[in-house]
Chains A and B, each alone.
Chain A
Amino acid sequence: MKKWLMTILLSLVVFSLAACSDDSDSTSGDSGEEDSTSENSGNEEETSSDSGETVALDFWIFGSTGYQELVDEYMEENPNVEITINEGEMNDMHNNLFTSISAGSGAPDIAQIEISQVEKFLEASDQFYNLNDYGANDVSGNFLDWKWAQAQNVDGSFQIGLPTDIGPTTMFYRTDVMEEAGLPTDREELAAEIDTWDAYYEAAKTVKAETGKFIADTPKLVFNALRDQQEQQYFNKDNELIIEETVKEAYDYTTKMIQEGLVGQNELWTPEWGTAMAEGTYATLPGAPGWMVANVKGNAPDASGLWDIASIPEGAGNWGGSFLTIPAESEYPQEAFDFISWLTAPEQQLRSFEIAGLFPSTPDVYENEEFLATTDEYFSGAPTAQIFAEAAQAVETVHMGVNYAVVDTELSTALTNVAVDGADPQDEWDAAVERINSQLERQ
């Protein structure tokens, strides 16, 4: 009687511990695409490759990548590979990756890392496989140089990840609002009309006067658009804070627009921001990259044909884009590398552009006739590929710095204070710089 009780109790203890450690394996609870069958498939795994046994790979992603379709395809072609996608919110995914790497267990076989976070993880390069050891050098020619360099250490000997998409910036705009304001609705004419930020400012005044609407609803987007055109942004190569020289101008421009009532006060990624997208309460989405396409379509499914894409005043920058990395915990680095080099190859990047609008980081594709002929009915039939490809050619390498997010958050707060509370821009700037410095001091 007591024996069986003890057995049950002991197994309960073991089970509860196992359940807990299992929890840390998943990025977020809401991933609907988790494949439960893969849990068991790893039972008979062997550490050697090519043995014909099933290889189970965990793959952590964020954002709207549409990778599931490609993963299914890959698994069909390689029946011995079982890939489980785990999708989470961007910050959560990076936090979980960071924690599991720091703890030394629970990291996936493949992790997507965003461009603003990649330097943080590069500092812990011993926690990742050097992809050069698996033949990354051979495929480096496929990718844009600046993108490739961003996932590298200083001397180029360590490659942490393979590039996925890039985010060359353009300007999305509402044709209905432009028409109401008496501005050109044709993308070429509009780009000619709004070819400088001064012209953008003038257009903002026209839109305000004619329709009462904003030229853009989010101060941060205007700021980002200008910031992403800078060759140096928050930090220089020596990791010194240089915002005073680089982005202060962008800040001043944005706050001027705010104070004159030309820009709204929504914050990025909030529900109100999404609603405004559907209702067309503003004219442009400046600095919008390829991956924003999926966001617009998701937030405003009924606005098809009301949006269009033009090039951005004064040249494109880059916003976002990711890399695929293999944390050192993975037991199958070779298989993982085979998969990510397949997934980031030009053909597959082309597919993910078609599926989710992720813009390829492989310049070969930009000359592909079929690719360039891609149009999007949602964006009034705009030749999206061509517009983004032109923007991509203009992008230069930017050193982001490990503490990019600290600076970005505080500047964002300053902009919000100016927009919502009508605070004095210079005071807010000074306060933000002070907050940034006190946080940087502790690094």
Chain B
Amino acid sequence: MAQTETTLTTKKKSSLSEKTKEAISAYIYISPFFILFGIFGLFPILFSFYLGFQKWNGLGEMEYVGLQNFEWILTDQIFWTSLSNTLIMWVLGTIPQLIIGIILAYALNSALIKMKSLFRVAIFMPYVTSTVAVAIVFGIMFNNQDFGLFNVILGWLGFDPVSWGTSWWGVKIAISTMVFWRWVGYNTIIYLAGLQAIPNELYEAAQIDGATIRQKIQYITIPMLRPIIILTVFTSTIGALQLFTEPLIYIGRSFREEGITVVLYLYREAFTNLSFGPASAAAIILFIIIIIISSINVFIANRIGR
């Protein structure tokens, strides 16, 4: 009796220390992310919240200015322009991208297409391409002048050339096209994975019931893809609100009103004008906007499910 008790306690002891050991190693396993996130994520986030209430040129002394920075940003016409630009480019870039992504994924998943892996790789290639390279090449194609590729094509179709780089819609269409081209493949591949996860039995059952292709898509594919669609809408929304590289390369350091996005606006405030306070205030406002839009997203997505 006594013997069994001792074995039990020793067992208990060793299992406890084993647990702690495991816990420690688990923490070490996940530590790289948290250390890096702390340095490159958390600290800058907290620091910009602090900076939002200061006046600072990056080198000199900081000076507390209260809500002055927020007042400047919220009364700045260009900030609101940048916000509406971002939202317009979000709609122009994201919606066609998701719709065409689903169609392409459906096509790639169908039995009719030969050389599937080749097409899959081909459609994914733009995602691997450097954003800067994409923006430069598209920038040349969307040249303002008559000899730019898209203007030549418009000429063949009998339209007048468009000054892509300076007109209100031209800039947005050009930048949205870059975003579309780069991300459509990524979303296609995600949809493709989603499509392949749908059990074939459902389609077979529908086949037996005499469903048409349209009905199959409407009643099987789309509902089954719902979680995937929500994921892609989420990621592309957040990505679109942070649109930066394409407009920076395309409109350059002129930061033209037609193409300035919120992130580009705060970049200009911080690194060209050295007004780090207003730039951080703009970042905080963008943060709040992203929270609001994400909440709306969650709300709508949940309602669709019911």
Q: Which residues 391-439 of A sit at the B interface, judged by CB distance below 8 A?
A: 403, 405-406, 409, 412-413, 416-417, 420-421, 435, 438-439
Interface string of B150-187 (1 = CB under 8 A from A): 00000000000001011100000000000000000000
**Contacts of B28 on A, CB cut-off 8 Å?**
6, 9-10, 13
* In the complex with contacts A2-B25, A271-B140, A442-B275 CB distance below 8 A: yes
Q: For A421, what are the chain B residues with a Cβ–Cβ distance below 8 Å? A: 163, 166-167
Nearest residue, chain A, Cβ from B147: A272
- The reply to whether the CB of B256 lies closer than 8 angstroms to some CB of chain A is yes
Stretch of A54-62, A120-128, A129-137, A329-337 lying at the B interface: A120-128
Q: Which of A367-403 contact B (CB under 8 A)?
A: 403
- B76:A420 contact, CB within 8 angstroms: no
Given contacts A405-B272, A420-B163, A443-B273, contact A17 B58 (CB under 8 A): no
Q: Within the assembled complex, what's the spacing in Å between the Cα atoms of A412 and B255?
A: 11
Q: Which of B58-86 contact A (CB under 8 A)?
A: 58-60, 69, 72, 76, 78
Contact between chains at A439 and B256 (CB < 8 Å): no
CB distance from B280 to the nearest CB of A (A): 12
Asked if A111 is at the interface of the complex by the 8 Å CB criterion, the answer is no
A86 an interface residue at 8 Å Cβ cutoff? no
Does A102 lie within 8 Å of B167, measured CB to CB?
Answer: no
B40 at the interface (CB under 8 A from A): yes
**Contact call A267/B252, Cβ cutoff below 8 A:** yes
Check A442–B60 contact: CB distance below 8 A: no
Decide if A442 touches B273 in the complex (CB within 8 Å): yes
Q: Considering the chains assembled together, what is the distance between the CA atoms of A142 and B174 in angstroms?
A: 51
Instruction: Report the Cα distance A272→B165, complex, angstroms.
Output: 13
A120 touching B274 by the CB < 8 A rule? yes
Residues of B within 8 A of A123 (CB): 57, 59-60
B:243-258 near A, CB below 8 Å: 252-256
Give the most central of B21, B29, B272, B278: most A CB within 10 Å. B272
| With A416-B166, A421-B163, A421-B166 as contacts: A13 and B35 at CB distance below 8 Å | yes
Q: Is A101 interfacial (CB 8 A cutoff)?
A: yes
CB-defined A-B contacts under 8 Å, sample of 16: A2-B21, A13-B35, A16-B36, A95-B271, A102-B59, A123-B59, A265-B144, A271-B136, A272-B143, A416-B256, A435-B78, A439-B273, A442-B69, A442-B72, A442-B273, A442-B278
